[in-house]
Every structure is written in C-alpha cells, then in structure tokens.
Chain A
Amino acid sequence: MTTAPAIELKGISKAFGPVQANKDISIRVMPGTIHGIIGENGAGKSTLMSILYGFYKADKGEIYISGEKVSIPDSQAAIAAGIGMVFQHFKLVENFTVLENVILGAEDGALLAPSLRKARKDLAALAAEYELNVDPDALIQDIGVGMQQRVEILKALYRQADILILDEPTGVLTPAEADQLFRILHRLKDEGKTIILITHKLREIMEATDTVSVMRRGEMTATVKTSETSPQALAELMVGRKVLLRVDKSPAQPGEKVLEVENLKVVDSKGVVRIKGISFEVRAGEILGIAGVAGNGQSELLEVLGGMRNGTGTIRVNGQDLDLTGKFSDARSRRKRGIAHVPEDRQREGLIMDFKAWENTAFGYDDDEAYQTGLLMNNAAIREDAEGKIERFDVRPANADLEAKSFSGGNQQKLVLAREIERDPDLLLVGQPTRGVDIGAIEFIHQQIVALRDKGKAILLVSVELEEILSLSDRIAVIFDGQLMGERLPAETDEKELGLMMAGMTGEDT
C-alpha cells in the first residue's frame, strides 16, 4: 500500500534578481510525521516556506498536497489547501483577545457574535483534543510568548490545517517553553497532523523530528532519517565543512580580581526590584557564565555594568569603585574604565541598522583621537579601521559600505564583537552572543571569546542557552528572580541541576 505524501515539492526554483534563493528543491513529507528543515540563515528555508504559503510564486516547480497538484497564488489558497503557518515573528493583533485573533479572516458571517460563539466552542474542543489551553478572553499583549505561540497554532488548527509549518519556533522561547512546544507537536503528530519544523538548531532537529532535510545556499543537500544521522553529520551538511560543536578550550588560569560586585540592587522605572542584592566576582582570564531564564534580572545586570541603568551597591573594576548613578555612570564612562559591552539585543543596542558597517564599528569610541581631524571626524581612518576589523573577524560580505541591516545575524554580531574586543578591554560583558546566529558563526564567536580570555581578560557571559553556558564558562552562576541561586563548575554540574536552579531551587535543594 502506498500513501501519498502530505506535501510533495518537485523542482521548486526561485530567484530574486541574481540571487538564486531556491534551486530545484524537491521534498516529500509523509502524513503524520515531523519533518525538519535545517540550514543556516540565508540558506533559502524561509523562501521555500513563503512559496508554500503563497507569499511568493515559484519560478519553476510543482506543489502536490496529498497527491493532488495545487497552485498557491496567495495565503488564502494555502489556508484552503490545509496549510497553517506559524511565523517566527507572530502575526497577532496585540490588543485583540485570543478569540478575536483566532477568528480574524475565518469569520462565519458579517456579524461577529455568532463567529465568536462558535470559535469559543471550537477552541474548547481543540484545547481538549491537543492540550492547548489558552484563555480565550485574554489580550495577546497580556500573555507570554509561549502562549502567543499556542494562539498561532490554534489559529492554524481552527482553519482546519492538516499541515503545520513552524518557522524557527523556539527562537523566542525559554528552554521549558520549548520543551512544552515539542510535547504539543508530538501530540499533533499523534493525531495525524503533518508538521514541518524549520530551524537552525541541531538539538531541536534531533529531539523532535522523524526526517530531516538540510539546505545550503538555496539547495537541498540531503534528506535523511533523523535516527540515522548525528548532529555532527548534519552540521557538516549545513555548513559544507567540518564544524566544531564543542568549544575547544584549555583550563582557565584565573588571575587578579577584575570585577567585584557587592550587594547590587536594581529597581526599574516601574518600581519593581529587578536585582535583589547580588554579589560575585570575575577574575582575569576566566569566563563567568550567568545562566537563567530570560527576565530574571540578567539583562538588568548587564545594563548596570554597561552603564545603561542605575543601581545601588558596590561595583569595583580593577579595585576601583564604579559610579552607579550620576554623570559618570554612563556607557562612555564605563568604556573609559576598560569595560566593553556586547549587548543582548544587537539590533537595538549594539548597532544602528540603517548605518553602514564602518560607521557602526566606531560607535561608542567615536571620540577616539585616531578618529578625529580637528573638529571633523576622520572618516578615512574609521573606514580603514573598519576594514581591518571586518577582515580579522571574517565578516561576510566583506563590504564596509553595506548597511548593518543587510548582514545576517551572525555577521552583525561579528561587527559588534570586533568593535568591542579590539579595544582590548579588561572586562568584556557579553549578552546572548549567539542568539539568531548560524552554526558556522557560533563556532567563530566562541573562539573569539575564548581567545580574549586566554589573553588574560575577564569575561561576564549572560546567555539563556544552557548549552552555551555549559560549554563556554569556567564558572557558572545561576540567576533567578534577581538573586543568585549559587555557583557551579561546568565539569561538576549538568543541564538538569542548572535547570532546577533556574527554576528557583537553591543549590541545597538539588
């Protein structure tokens, strides 16, 4: 007996001008399976899915749904064909209720009341069937991202989607929320739905999928059974060369205390206490990793240290007190004290997206003597400097005149890192160094951070990726609800123990 594939693509090609985003892509996804599509940013995954959802028209190729040839000129047609899409950036109306978002575009008549009644009933049924509980009357802006994602899934199911496409679904989720998502996906699979999971995270592919296709530079390089492959093999297929998944580093040689934090407290503008008196130190030549679920005070910690927020308590760098309020508590004063900062949100705080790469490499150091000629900026000097940084940090494309927004996430991060690391700081603050960054670039970024440590610098790493914390840190501190729950050595702990600490259990409880 042969079952028709839920989705079959034959020879899909799509070019944007000279760029061939998809080259002759063929893929078969059997019903009731989870199929992963993995590839680096820009490999053409999103283009392929946009073609499936009717955003783009393929130049060539055919689409079959359950064995029947279909054409998908717009999203309406995709929905009619039973395809539901959960975008990386949710397409929800923030000040609408869950219910209103679910029916939007799928109303039953000109008046809302009957549609809302029906949706309320159907939603309750879906919630029971797939364990997707959401309060139908909650406003989207009041619920967390995990819940918002459920609403997106419910939207698709409400439109009777049999095929669910999820584009980088865990990018905004905490590890616990991601686990929950995968449980939901398995449940959907058990109920006969077909799921396509697009991601660049190997771990998710290994954990969640039945089969996996690898894309590189617009081409489908392989499709394999997940059980018959390994992360190492997939990474090589993605990047096209051997990749180090583990960070290769020698034991730390801690020296003098560079950063000392004593009883630091931070109250935000709404009067909420974000950091409740924490103390720790970072020595020269070591990486202290701060693990924690996003929103537990680690962002505020970085901001206080980086001079973007006021606090109380004592912070010493190389034995001298830092101002925590007032004129000399700003980011520029921090830089003068030898603190460099790679902020968590590189697109908002690290770069100006509409400015050129070479301009971006001077921000924060624009008062440097070398960058001036009298009253004017010495643009030639800045540009020359930028070109050196771009070369040394392997920023691609190596063009200093491109705007920051035209680089991929990984290359944007390299620009920020180059700017901060090359100033030879005593202390480097790094927030989420590899969020939204390709595997190939992750490897490079990790190497740069370790290299800086080996030069005897102190590094404070904040990341919500436990794997990253475990592989990069020399010591790990866990933050929960504005307090440090304890310190561990990476060799003497594991994800399970750290996960419990991140959920608020103190070291003694575990």
Chain B
Amino acid sequence: MDYLTILQILDSALRLATPLLFACLAGLFSERAGIFDIGLEGKMLIAAFFSAATAYSTGSVWLGMLAGVAASLVLSGIHGLASITFRGNQLISGVAINFLASGLTVLIGLSWFKLGGQTPALQGDARFQGIDLPFAEALSGVPVFGPLYSEVLSGHTFLVYIALLCVPLTWYVLFRTRFGLRLRAVGENPAAVDTAGISVVGLRYAAVAICGVLCGLAGAYLATGLGASFVKEMTAGRGYIALAALIFAKWRPWYALYATFLFGLLEAISNRYPSLDLGFITLPSQFMQALPYILTVVILAGFVGKATPPRAGGEPYVKER
C-alpha cells in the first residue's frame, strides 16, 4: 500500500464521513437539549429525495439543498410537536418518522419520475461540484504535505467544508454562548431552566429545528454531492450509525468529528478492498461491508467505556408543583 493509496482512502473517508458528521451534529443538538432523535435516518432520507427531485426539476443544486432542508424541517416539526408539545414518546415518534420517510420517498418518487422510486441522474449544476482549494495545484509537488493537501483536503464539494466548519461552530455555540448554556441545561435539568424563567419548550424547538437543518444538509449531500441521484433507501442506516457515533463521541462536537471519520474510514476501506487479503486469511467482502455496522454494535454494546447521556434525555418536561 503506497502513500497515494492511503491518501485516496483518506479522501474517500472524508467524503463518506460528511453525511455522518452532519447527522451526528444534528443528533448532538437535539439530544443535548433532551430530545432523543432516532428519526435522523428518516430526515436524511426525505431530504435526500427532495433535494435530488428539486435539483433535477430546477437544474439548481442550491434550490435542491433548500428543498431538502425544508423537507427535513417539516419532519423535525412533527417530531417536536409529538415529543415537546404533546409530550409523547420520543422513540416512537422517531420510528414513525423513519417509516414515513421511507414510504413517502418511494411513493412520491414512483409517481413523479416512474423510475422505480429513484430520481433521474443529476448532471452539471444539479450536482455539487468539487472545489479546488487555493494553491492545491502549486502545493501538490511539496513532499508529504503537498499530496495530503491536494488529494485529501482539496477538491471536495461545498457541503464537505461546511460540515467540517460545523464542528468548531457547534463547539463554540454549545460552550461559549448563552444559547448553548441554556440548551445544555435544558437537556440536563429542564426544571432549572424553567425556574430561571426561560422557556423549555422554546429551547427544545430551537434544538429540534437545528437538528432538522443539519439532517437536511446531510441528505442533500448524499443525493447531490456524494451520489448523483436519489436511490431508494439510500441512507442505508447512516442515521443509526450517526447515533452510534454520537454515543461514541460522548455528545461532544470534536469527538463527533473523530467518531464519524472512523466510520467513514471503515466504509472507505471496504469500498477500496471488497475482500481484504491479510496474508493468512482473506476477509470476504460481506465482512468488509459489514464493518461499519459491526463497529456500531460494538459501540452500542458499551465496549467504549461509560458514556453519560444528557440526564433529562427522552423525558418530556412536565412542570411540577
């Protein structure tokens, strides 16, 4: 395995990690505010569909992205209504949203495009194009660092960079602003927030909305950046993997970056080496493809040490006497 191969795998890992990172940060905002969201998957899926459909119809990837975000926000709104306003069970609401998205995308897709639930392939401005970072060409000659910069960091689409920027931004918002303090407080002890005269409901809706926007970007990236059309069930469990990464990351933004990159890396490796020859044994492709999911199970089974979720997570807030 030479240096260039490693760089190509890293490059691919970064692209594959991007939707996970968006979704993971989306879950982070929601869960930090005390609203569990297993509907990340559904929100990504519906965003992927509407962004692809809109981008195809209008020819503009930007309108597609907005449509994806809007669709995801609608589902967020439903989740908020069910779990904040009506104090329903957050898991059930999330599951319902996943089913809804899974069914709706295929149904609408069939009716609009008659392609078995897919959207037509996106071309030109209907897709996100790679952006070459400044000096990528010039620096590519520099040993070691040069190729790293031009191969791995440069040449990605707009949303990859946005996702990366979201990490420090999320950290800053959570830990350095008033909104972040209140958001974290409402996920730990909503009664403390309520008695301080701040609206628990308002804060939680804000968190759920941010979650919707980020899931929307994740979905848009899947269909118009990573892929070039919407494909039935194209999220393929990424929403759940993002949740696992969130636990792995202990609900912290920087760790979320590392965790999702690890998942991206595993996926990149399995794409690159459908079957991996380790010399004494050859790992079959089924095993390689299952790697990210195996890691998910391992993480969720608690092999990575104790992770303490936000204390009020999953509990609707009922004002006590």
Docked-complex contact A104 and B177, CB < 8 angstroms: no
In the complex, the answer to whether B177 meets A110 with C-beta atoms within 8 Å is: yes
Asked if B123 is an interface residue, CB under 8 A from chain A, the answer is: no
When the two chains form their complex, are residues A107 and B181 in contact, meaning their CB atoms are under 8 A apart? yes
Bound CA–CA A92/B312 (angstroms): 12
Q: How far is the CA of A112 from the CA of B178 in the complex (A)?
A: 6
Q: Measured between alpha carbons, how far is A107 from B198 in the docked complex, in Å?
A: 11
Residue of A at shortest CB range from B196?
A: A105
Roughly how many angstroms separate A87 CA and B188 CA in the complex, as a whole number? 17
Task: From the candidates B177, B179, B181, B197, name the one contacting A100 in the complex (CB within 8 A).
Answer: B181
Does A110 contact B189, Cβ atoms closer than 8 Å?
no
Distance A481 CA – B197 CA, assembled complex (angstroms)? 42
B136 within 8 A of A: no
- State the CA gap A38–B225 with chains docked (Å): 67
In the assembly, what is the distance between CA of A93 and CA of B181, in Å? 10
- What residues of A have a CB within 8 angstroms of the CB of B5 in the complex? none
Residue tally, chain A, CB below 8 Å to B: 33
A212 and B316 alpha carbons, distance in the complex (Å): 38
CB-based nearest A residue for B195: A91
Chain A, 84-108, CB within 8 A of any chain B CB: 85, 87, 89, 91-96, 100-101, 103-107
Q: Encode A98-140 as 1/0 by CB contact (under 8 A) with B.
A: 0011011111011111010000000000000000000000000
Q: Are B189 and A93 in contact (CB under 8 A)?
A: yes
Give per-residue flags for B134-170: 1 if the beta carbon is below 8 A from chain A beta carbons, else 0.
0000000000000000000000000000000000000
How long is the Cα–Cα vector from A201 to B321 in the complex, in angstroms? Answer: 20
Whether A47 is near chain B, meaning CB under 8 Å from some CB there, is: yes
Q: Are B182 and A104 neighbours in the complex by a CB distance under 8 Å?
A: yes
Chain A residues with Cβ below 8 Å from B188 are 93-96
Q: Across the interface, which residues of B come within 8 angstroms of A96, CB to CB?
A: 181, 184-185, 188
A68-91 at interface with B (beta carbon < 8 Å)? 74-76, 78-79, 85, 87, 89, 91
Q: Does A46 sit at the interface, judged by CB under 8 A?
A: yes
Q: Does A365 belong to the interface (CB within 8 Å)?
A: no
Determine the chain B residues whose CB is within 8 A of the CB of A112 once the complex forms. 175-178, 180-181
Cα distance, A89 to B194, chains bound together (Å): 14
Contacts of A109 in B (CB 8 A): 178
* B193 within 8 A of partner (CB): yes
Interface status of B191 (Cβ within 8 A of chain A): yes
Residue numbers in A under 8 Å from B185 (CB-CB): 93, 96, 104
Indicate which residue in A75, A85, A115 contacts B178 across the interface (CB closer than 8 Å).
A115
- B311 in the interface (beta carbon within 8 A): yes
* CB closest residue in chain B, given A95: B188
Pairwise interchain contact A74-B197, C-beta atoms closer than 8 A: yes
Question: Most chain-A CB neighbours within 10 Å: which of B175, B179, B197?
Answer: B197
A101: chain B residues within 8 A (beta carbon): 192
**B203 → chain A closest CB, angstroms:** 11
A444 adjacent to chain B (CB < 8 Å): no
Distance, CA A89 to CA B177, complexed state (A): 27
Asked whether, in the complex, the Cβ of B195 is within 8 Å of the Cβ of A85, the reply is yes
B319: interface (CB < 8 Å)? yes
CB <8 Å contact, B321 and A105: no
State in angstroms the CA–CA spacing of A348 and B177 once bound together. 38
Residues of chain B within 8 A of A104, CB atoms compared = 181-182, 185, 192-193, 196, 198
Question: Would A105 and B182 be within 8 Å (CB), given that A91-B195, A95-B188 are in contact?
Answer: yes
In the complex the two chains form, what is the Cα distance from A79 to B196 in whole Å?
A: 8
Q: Which residue of B lies closest to A113 (CB)?
A: B176
Q: Choose one: A46, A76, A93, A115; the contact of B197 (CB below 8 Å).
A: A76
Please, which residues of chain B bring their CB within 8 A of the CB of A46? 321
A393 within 8 A of partner (CB): no
Nearest opposing residue in chain B for A110, CB measure: B178
State the CA gap A53–B194 with chains docked (Å): 11
A113 to B319 alpha-carbon distance, docked (Å): 31
Assess whether B321 is in contact with A47, with CB atoms less than 8 Å apart. yes
A347 within 8 A of B: no
Within 8 A of A (CB), among B167-222: 175-182, 184-185, 188-189, 191-198
A106 to chain B, nearest CB (A): 7
CA distance A85 to B179 in the complex (A): 23
Whether B195 lies near A94 (C-beta < 8 A) is no
CA of A91 to CA of B320, assembled, Å: 12
B321: contacting residue among A55, A78, A91, A111, CB under 8 A: A55
A493 to B177, CA, bound (A): 57
Decide if B311 touches A94 in the complex (CB within 8 Å).
Answer: yes
The answer, yes or no, to whether A50 is at the interface (CB within 8 Å) is yes
The docked-state distance in angstroms from the alpha carbon of A94 to that of B290 is: 39
Interface residues of A in 355-407 (CB under 8 A from B): none
Determine the distance from Cα of A78 to Cα of B184 in the docked complex, in whole angstroms: 24
Interface centre among B175, B194, B195 (most CB of A within 10 A): B195
Supply 17 A–B pairs (Cβ within 8 Å), ascending by A: A76-B198, A78-B197, A89-B191, A91-B194, A94-B189, A96-B181, A96-B184, A96-B188, A104-B181, A104-B192, A104-B196, A104-B198, A106-B196, A110-B178, A111-B178, A115-B178, A155-B196
Question: Which 6 residue pairs are nearest across A and B when measured between Cβ atoms?
Answer: A105-B196, A76-B197, A91-B192, A75-B197, A107-B178, A91-B195
- List chain B positions with a Cβ less than 8 A from chain A: 175-182, 184-185, 188-189, 191-198, 311, 319, 321
Beyond contacts A96-B181, A103-B181: 5 other A-B pairs, Cβ-Cβ < 8 A, are A76-B197, A94-B188, A94-B189, A104-B192, A104-B198
